[in-house]
């Protein structure tokens, strides 16, 4: 159906410096990471580019490392590597749960975590967990290295805080202890599906009091978002059904979903309420 | 541009367009017809190949990307004992109807069984179902595919 050879130039740099130079010098060039979004967009004509800079051969962009106080994930690490990583299972269970639900095995073997973030779909499933963990993104470019918190990375619909020639190098998550977590993804079917709504929650309690909580939502706004007002309402409160319901109500007010092929805005809002409530209950082991 | 990779155990060197998709190189230049054309956007899985042993969709890969890597299709597995057992189970359990998705499902389930033996995946019906999530079968042979994989796993007493 889409069969045609893409009219495009292809570069496969071995180092980050080379990749940055290519992105700066070659007109209308784009980073090719896993290609599971970009190649579909190029085939269908939704995106146009004159050159692809394949970052798949750049070693420093790969791998998962436990650095003691933090976890480092190379941006070009495959999603399946995250699913199979002991470090991710142990330290970032919320991320693991989300990545496990992404695409199919064949897709996860190609797709990368950095590609998912930079493609900046509102439905990017790695985003809610990383927003909840408050990951830091290490970005390199022609003017050196800078750190951008993932909470500031998504600037508007399908836009991210990357300047020309810049590449997302790695994702760093500081270790922190949470007493509970929950990830819920609602799709049109249970496997290999895009999310209609996804919710990621991290919670920390002392006795009956919710000391800290983070709520991140996917597919319900132009970008993946945090439900800061709901979090603020919950912080320091004693856990009770009324309190959790109120927080879910607030989260529902914070989203701005649209009608699309997968669901209506109305349904998404209702599901934000329901799933936020369920995710809070699960993370607090409260029933 | 010139791209070299290992295809079913032998090195091949082909001249391809920089924007050429692996699926097209395999079917149109290299005569590998078991790799089928389906949705061409990563949804259906009929174009599955093993890339360095891992199942991937060949419709979302530029041929240039697989330079120096190893690509395996069912054509290259005819003499592999595990693959033979699996294919026989598929035949015995009627896990094939029209056959269009079969080479891809065989590759995915073969890769899954290997992972089980490497201790990287559990042997369970749930895991088999999860493994073949990316392979659509419009004939609906899934339960028979699962049965064939279960039987292959239980018949094998030694690691492949």
ipTM: 0.96
- Do strands A51-54 and A9-11 pair parallel, antiparallel, or not at all (unpaired)? parallel
Nearest to A93 by CA among A149, A175, A169, A153: A175
**Are B59 and B88 in the same domain?**
no
Nearest-CA distance A43 → chain B (Å): 9
Name the residue among A260, A282, A51 with its Cα closest to residue A183: A282
Residues from chain B that touch A31, judged by Cβ atoms under 8 A, are none
Q: What is the pLDDT of residue B160?
A: 57
Place of tokens 């000391």: A211
pLDDT for B31:
96
> Counting one residue from A and one from B, how many pairs have CB atoms under 8 Å apart?
93
Stretches in chain B below the pLDDT threshold 70? 157-160
How many structural domains compose chain B?
A: 2
pLDDT digit string, tens, across residues A172-195: 999 999 999 999 999 988 888 889
Contact: A3, B67; criterion CB under 8 Å: no
Q: Do B55 and B114 belong together in one domain? A: no
Q: Nearest residue on chain B to A190, judged by CA atoms?
A: B133
pLDDT in tens, A210-238: 999 999 999 999 999 999 999 999 999 99
Q: Which residues, 6+ apart, have CB-to-CB distance to B11 below 8 Å? A: B4, B5
**Ranges of chain A whose pLDDT falls below 50:** 1-2
Q: Is residue B160 in a domain?
A: no
Residues B64, B96, single domain; the answer is no
Put simply, the answer to whether A1 touches B39 (Cβ < 8 Å) is yes
pLDDT at position B157 is: 60
pLDDT score at A1: 44
Residues B35 and B59 in one domain: yes
Helix (H) or strand (E) holding A19: helix A16-25
- The rounded distance, in Å, linking the Cα atoms of A47 and A44 is 8
Indicate yes or no: CB of A6 within 8 angstroms of CB of B19: yes
Minimal C-alpha gap between B55 and chain A (Å) = 5
| Claim to verify: residue B63 and residue B106 sit in the same structural domain | no
Same domain, B52 and B101: no
Please say which residue of B53, B76, B99 terminates a domain. Answer: B76
Give the domain-ending residue among B57, B76, B95.
Answer: B76
Pull the structure tokens for residue A71. Answer: 């976890």
Q: What pLDDT is stored for residue A287 in this prediction?
A: 64
CATH number at residue B90: 1.10.150.120
Nearest to A104 among B19, B120, B133 (CB): B133
Give the end of a domain, one of B51, B76, B101: B76
Distance CA B40, CA B37 (A): 7
pLDDT at A186: 94
CATH number at residue B55: 3.10.20.30
Q: Which domains does chain A have, with CATH numbers?
A: 9-54 (3.30.43.10), 59-173 (3.30.465.10), 181-283 (3.30.390.50)
Are B41 and B106 found together in one domain?
no
The reply to whether B13 and B72 lie within a common domain is yes
> Based on the domain organization, do B98 and B47 belong to the same domain?
no
Residue B54 lies in domain: 2-76
Please state, in angstroms and rounded to a whole number, the distance separating the CA atoms of residues B126 and A105.
Answer: 14
**How many H-runs (helices) and E-runs (strands) does chain B carry?**
5, 5
Closest to A128 (Cα-Cα) out of A103, A162, A154, A108: A154
């Amino acid at each position: 159906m889409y069969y045609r050879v893409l009219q495009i130039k292809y570069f496969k740099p071995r180092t980050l410096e080379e990749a940055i130079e290519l992105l700066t010098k070659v007109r209308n060039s784009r980073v090719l990471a896993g290609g599971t979004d970009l190649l579909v967009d190029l085939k269908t004509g939704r995106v146009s580019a004159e050159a692809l800079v394949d970052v798949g051969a750049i070693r420093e962009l790969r791998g998962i490392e436990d650095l003691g106080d933090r976890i480092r994930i190379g941006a070009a690490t495959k999603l399946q590597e995250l699913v199979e990583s002991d470090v991710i299972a142990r330290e970032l269970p919320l991320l693991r749960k989300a990545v496990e639900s992404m695409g199919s095995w064949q897709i996860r073997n190609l797709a990368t975590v950095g590609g998912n973030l930079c493609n900046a779909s509102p439905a990017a499933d790695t985003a809610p967990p990383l927003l909840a963990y408050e990951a830091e993104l290490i970005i390199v470019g022609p003017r050196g290295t800078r750190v951008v918190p993932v909470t500031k990375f998504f600037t508007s619909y399908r836009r991210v805080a990357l300047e020309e020639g810049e590449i997302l190098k790695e994702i760093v998550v500081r270790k922190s202890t949470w007493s509970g977590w929950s990830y819920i993804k609602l799709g049109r079917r249970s496997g290999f599906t895009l999310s209609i709504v996804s919710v990621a929650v991290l919670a920390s309690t002392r006795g009956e009091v919710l000391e800290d909580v983070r709520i991140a939502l996917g597919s319900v706004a132009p970008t993946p978002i945090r439900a800061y007002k709901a979090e603020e309402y919950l912080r320091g409160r004693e856990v009770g059904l009324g309190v959790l319901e109120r927080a879910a109500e607030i989260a529902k007010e914070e989203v701005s979903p649209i009608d699309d092929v997968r669901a209506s805005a109305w349904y998404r809002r209702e599901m934000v309420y329901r799933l936020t409530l369920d995710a809070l209950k699960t993370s607090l082991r409260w029933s | 541009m010139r791209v070299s990779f290992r295809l079913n155990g032998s090195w091949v060197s082909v001249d391809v367009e920089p924007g050429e998709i692996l699926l097209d190189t395999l079917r149109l230049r290299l005569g590998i017809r078991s790799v089928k054309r389906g949705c061409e956007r990563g949804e259906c899985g009929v174009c599955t190949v093993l890339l360095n042993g891992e199942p991937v969709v060949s419709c979302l890969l530029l041929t240039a990307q697989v330079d120096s890597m190893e690509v395996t299709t069912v054509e290259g597995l005819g003499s592999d004992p595990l693959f033979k057992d699996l294919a026989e189970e598929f035949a015995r359990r009627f896990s094939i109807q029209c056959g269009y998705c079969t080479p891809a499902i065989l590759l995915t389930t073969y890769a899954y069984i290997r992972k089980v033996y490497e201790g990287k995946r559990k042997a369970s019906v749930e895991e088999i179902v999860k493994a073949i999530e990316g392979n659509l079968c419009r004939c609906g042979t899934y339960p028979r595919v699962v049965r064939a994989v279960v039987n292959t796993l239980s018949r094998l007493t030694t690691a492949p």
